[in-house]
A and B are shown apart, each in its own frame.
Chain A
Amino acid sequence: EAQVTQNPRYLITVTGKKLTVTCSQNMNHEYMSWYRQDPGLGLRQIYYSMNVEVTDKGDVPEGYKVSRKEKRNFPLILESPSPNQTSLYFCASSPRTGGWTNEKLFFGSGTQLSVL
């Protein structure tokens, strides 16, 4: 089944303890992206990747790192989590066929992170 898989689904941690949220897609998509969702603020893009070894900042990249060593995986790394990073996180991927204006995003099920 074609899908975007995020793990874990729920995560509770403490301030300063490094964590990684994994994201994997089995659709051979070139584009991958991370979003966070907070009440009243909608979905905001953190980082995105156009292809392997190519990553760029979105609207809210502070406090996050990403890597794209393989096409299928795009982990989100929080080196020193803080309470303001408590949020619902979504990974998404998209194919790239010709122009970039006609591609739809496929989303994972989300990761609810709580930083105490």
Chain B
Amino acid sequence: DAKTTQPPSMDCAEGRAANLPCNHSTISGNEYVYWYRQIHSQGPQYIIHGLKNNETNEMASLIITEDRKSSTLILPHATLRDTAVYYCIVRLTNTGNQFYFGTGTSLTVIP
């Protein structure tokens, strides 16, 4: 069963904030939420991760709801180079060793 649910695609105007949602209603207490992105067919690239608190780095911000059942990745000023597939990931607790990627959200930044 999928551990995360993301919309298959989204559009965002260049220069505007891109808000990518993710549902992870079965997340366990010690599981982190990770975000990766994949540009064309390159290897996925780490963006950010968090446990409970909101996180921010040079690439993005991560907002996690208080019940931890959902999160939002925010790209504050989207550029054309942010066009990519974005994956929201939690680890599977039955093994503790697998990263389940799913199919992600294809973000298109429009000029």
Contact = CB atoms under 8 A, between A and B. Distances in A.
B99 A33 contact: yes
B86 to A, nearest CB: 12
Most buried by B among A42, A59, A92, A109: A42
Q: Is the interface of A mostly helix, strand, loop or mixed?
A: strand
Given A48-B98, A56-B95, A110-B41, A105 B103 contact: no
Nearest to A39: B103
Interface stretch (A14-22, A63-71, A78-86, A95-103): A95-103
Contact of A104 (B31, B49, B87, B96): B49
A105 B31 contact: no
Given A48-B98, A100-B97, A106-B46, A42 B30 contact: no
B46 A101 contact: no
Interface residues of B, number: 25
A45 B43 contact: no
Given A100-B91, A105-B46, A109-B42, A43 B97 contact: no
Contacts of B31: 101
Given A31-B97, A56-B97, A104-B34, A109 B102 contact: no
A1 to B, nearest CB: 14
Interface of A: 4, 31, 33, 35, 37, 40-45, 48, 50, 56, 58-59, 88, 90, 92, 99-102, 104-110, 112
